Every structure is written in structure tokens, then in C-alpha cells.
Amino acid sequence: MLASRLLSILMLLQARGRASARELAQEFEVAVRTIHRDIDELGAAGIPVYAERGRNGGFRLRDGWRTKLTGLSESEAETLFLAGLPGPAAELGFAKAVSTARLKLLAALPPTLQPSAERIAARFHLDPGIWFQHAVALPSLPVIARAVWTERMLKLRYRRAGETDARPRRLGPLGLVLKAGVWYLVAQRGNAVRTYRAANIHDAEITNEAFARPKHFDLAAHWREAVREYEGGVYHEHADVRLSPRGVYMLDLLGPYVVRAAAETASKPDRKGWVRCTLPLESIDFGIRELMRLGDEVRVLGPRELRARLGESAMRMARMHRMRQSRRRGETQR
């Protein structure tokens, strides 16, 4: 445990440049006194780590000193190669850099770890895209990525509801998120933080204006909250239904949010296995189309408007198909 923490402290100082004893204690969930002992252990091992006093002081490594990757375990080395995403890296414009970095990493690994790292890279491929969706051209994505990395303001036009901005927007790029094969830009506009779909961004340019990224902004935490709010805000209606055992299985067609809501509200199955539950719907019109995908494996109990309109839609479809069938019979008799 001590050796692992010492190596982690060393890597953290190498990555960040400087860290206070309190920050390190919070990071590794130990006492500040323990961190001071760890720093002494590193110094005794010949690591050139020293303390800087003052308000912005802390521990740091001597300028220009770097450690080699000799502390990696076999599983850690394998994970690093598994984490490479060549597809998204290419979209960001980093394909060559990722390939070069993998070669350097492989060369830096001890000989005993190289075969296992190469083996996992050859046997696992990560495809973050979704089925039945062709790759969308993203000409602005490399520009956006450079703006995020260099902390420069972006000037761009955004297409929404089929219309593109007449005037460019100026955004402070906070980060990029890949969600289900779709890239999103999280950016600051004025005092608000908003999300923009990268495929809808056009004429992106990096300006000479520096962007002061908020010090405590956490991209991952912001995205989790944004997803929660989006999923909760999309569904404005609900349906009270009864589902057959097959209907419960078919709920996957309506998405994971609906599946989770059904599970949380489901009653005990009756003797035939049917359960009563509440399903979230985006709207009555959208709900009709979604519920019809379940066929006769669902019984809608309410609300009254949804039940009535779903019945009318089913009757229109039945009449249309009966008419077609009658016409075919008449043509056959002729």
C-alpha cells in the first residue's frame, strides 16, 4: 500500500507540477502527517522532490526530472492499451499522436510487460458508435478540440431546428464529450454553460482571445447533471399501463430511461404474469407511436386522452388493412 501510494504521489507531482500536502492528503485519503512522511521516503530514495513555501507553495519535483514507467503492473499496462480509442482520436485530429504515443509507451515498458500489452491491443477493439448509423462528417471537431486544449475562445455558427446562425457565436470551450457515438461541445456563453452538438457546428475558428476556464469546473460532474436534467425534462407525460411478460421484455424498444421507470413503479405480477406500471412519455403524440410498438402486449389504462387516441389510431390501421385485404380478394375473384 505504501509503495503504491509513493508511486502515485510521484506520478501526480510529475503530471501537475506542484501539489500541497493538504491536496495530496485529500487525494489519497490519508493524514497530512502521513504525506510528509511519504515525501521524506521519496527523498530518501533519491527522488529530487522539494517543498516551496508561501501561499501558492507545495511539493514539486526538480525541473526537468522525469521518471520512467517502470512502476506499472501488468494489468495497468494492459489497461493503458485498452483505453486507446483510435476512432474518436482520428475525429479529434489526434490519430497520429495517439499512434506515436502508443509506440513510445510500448518502448518504455519493461520487456516482461510488452507482450501482454501488445496482446490486449490486438484482441480488443472499442467501437463507441451505435448501430445503423453512418459516420457523420465533423470538419469542425479538430478545430474545437484545439480550442479546448489551448483555452482559446471559439467563433462559430450553430444550426438548430434546420436554421443556421446569421451571426457567429463566441463561446468559451470547456470540454468535449463523446456520448453514444455523438460528440458534444460543453461551452460557456455569457454566464451560462450550454451543450452544443458538434455535427451542428459550422465555420468554427479559434480566436486570439484567451478563455479563462473556471478553476473548479468539473466536466464529468457537469455532464452527469446535464444528462439527468435532460432525461427528466424530455418526458412531460405519463402512461398508466399493464404489461404482459413479453411486453416487459419489449420495453427495451422504448429506451433505458423508460425501462428503469417501469421497474421502479411495477406492481407484483398477476397470475398470468401481467404487471401494472407507469411509463414516461415525451408527449401524447409521441407516446402513441411508442406504445404501438408493443402491440397487444400492453393495455393502456390512462390517461383518458391517451387511451382514446391510441384506440382510434389502432382502429384506423385495422380499417386500412381490411380495405386493402378486401380489394385484393376482389381482384382475385375477377
The pLDDT value recorded for residue 279 is: 95
Mean pLDDT across the stretch 44-67? Answer: 80
Higher pLDDT pick, 10 / 186 = 186
- Give SS3 for 49: strand
**DSSP for 90-112, written as a single string:** HHHT-HHHHHHHHHHHHHHS-TT
Q: How confident is residue 52, by pLDDT bands cut at 50, 70 and 90?
A: confident
More confident residue, 122 or 222: 222
DSSP class per residue in 160-205: ETTEE-SS-EEEEEEEEEEETTEEEEEEEETTEEEEEEGGGEEEEE
Q: What is the pLDDT of residue 44?
A: 84
Domain 2-61 adopts which CATH fold? Arc Repressor Mutant, subunit A (1.10.10)
The position carrying cell 479529434 is 92
pLDDT band at 78 (very low <50, low <70, confident <90, very high): low
Cα separation, 196 vs 164, in Å, equals: 13
% the chain with pLDDT above 90: 38
Give the pLDDT confidence score for residue 85 in this predicted structure.
Answer: 58
| Average pLDDT along the chain | 83
Question: Cα–Cα distance between 76 and 29 in angstroms, integer?
Answer: 21
Contacts of 74 (CB under 8 A, 6+ apart): 112, 113, 116
**DSSP label of 9:** H
pLDDT of residue 321: 79
Radius of gyration from C-alpha coordinates of the chain: 28
- Please give the Cα distance from 40 to 77 (Å, whole number): 28
Query: Which pLDDT value is given to residue 324?
Result: 66
Per-residue pLDDT tens digits for 90-121: 667 666 666 666 666 666 666 666 676 667 66
Q: Which pLDDT score, from 0 to 100, does residue 169 have?
A: 93
What cell was used for 14? Answer: 510529475
141-225 is classed in which CATH architecture? Roll (2.30)
The least confident of 50-64, 113-127, 218-232 is 113-127
Taking only the tens place, the pLDDT of each residue in 242-282 is 999 999 999 998 888 899 999 999 999 999 999 999 999 98
pLDDT above 90 for 124: no
Q: Is the pLDDT of residue 14 over 90?
A: no
Question: pLDDT tens, 190-218?
Answer: 989 999 999 999 999 999 999 998 988 99
